Amino acid sequence: MTATAELLPVHPRRASAARRRRHRQQLPYRIHQIAPGAATILVTPIWTDGHSDGVRHYLARALDGHGRILKFPAGGSQRIAGLPQGAHPAADWNRPQTWHAATNTLTTRRPTSNAEMRATIQRMAEQAASLEAQLAFERERRFELVVGRDFADSLASGYVDREGLTVS
């Protein structure tokens, strides 16, 4: 019995099939009221231990069309997490779910394999090395510009000591 209860949302809604279809049809409108411009909603279960058995909560995150995170008003994460749960009560809410605004569908986020994670880490390490090289180049360039500007300013004011500048 507990295995069946774990697959259901925390607060399941009893509704007829027609009402669930209406919830699904109204889902984009209701989410748009809380998070305007949301292209995807990521709902992730989180288990906390409050001095007894683990308690399950849901964390929702909204992304716009460019992948930027949208901020919710107070309580918006809980309200948004409840909307797809009411529209899709049969989904496996023990796993992270993604709702797509363009298609009004809910998909289960697949677990990432170790090979995919290693490849992602490798790409990120290469990108970090490239960014560090660009940063070092820009620091060196800035140093050259500052030294050149300081020399030009001191030359214009007549404070340059030319004794050490002679080339033999």
CA 132 to chain centre: 23
**Claim to verify: residue 17 and residue 90 sit in the same structural domain:** yes
**Claim to verify: residue 85 and residue 121 sit in the same structural domain:** no
The answer as to whether 94 is a domain residue is yes
pTM: 0.52
Domain count, the chain: 2
**Claim to verify: residue 104 and residue 21 sit in the same structural domain:** yes
**Claim to verify: residue 21 and residue 40 sit in the same structural domain:** yes
Model pLDDT, residue 1: 41
Find out whether 81 and 74 touch, Cβ atoms under 8 Å: no
Tell which of 89, 108, 127 closes a domain.
108
SS3 at position 61: strand
**Claim to verify: residue 140 and residue 101 sit in the same structural domain:** no
Query: Residue 27, class by beta-carbon neighbours within 10 Å (0-12 exposed, 13-18 middle, 19+ buried)?
Result: buried
Reported as a single tens digit per residue, the pLDDT across 27-80 is 888 888 888 888 888 888 887 766 666 677 888 888 888 888 888 888 788 888
**Claim to verify: residue 123 and residue 91 sit in the same structural domain:** no
Calpha distance 72→94 (Å, rounded):
23
Reported as a single tens digit per residue, the pLDDT across 88-133 is 777 888 888 888 888 888 888 776 677 777 888 888 999 999 999 9
**Claim to verify: residue 79 and residue 131 sit in the same structural domain:** no
**Claim to verify: residue 63 and residue 49 sit in the same structural domain:** yes
Tell me which H or E stretch contains 58.
strand 54-63
The answer as to whether 167 is a domain residue is no
The answer as to whether 19 is a domain residue is yes
- Band of the pLDDT at 136, cuts 50, 70, 90? very high
The answer as to whether 124 is a domain residue is yes
Calpha distance 134→151 (Å, rounded):
26
**Claim to verify: residue 44 and residue 98 sit in the same structural domain:** yes
Find out whether 89 and 56 touch, Cβ atoms under 8 Å: no
**Claim to verify: residue 93 and residue 21 sit in the same structural domain:** yes
**Claim to verify: residue 103 and residue 122 sit in the same structural domain:** no
Query: Residue 120's domain spans which residues?
Result: 114-160
SS3 at position 47: strand
**Claim to verify: residue 121 and residue 99 sit in the same structural domain:** no
The answer as to whether 14 is a domain residue is yes
Q: Is the pLDDT of residue 5 over 50?
A: no
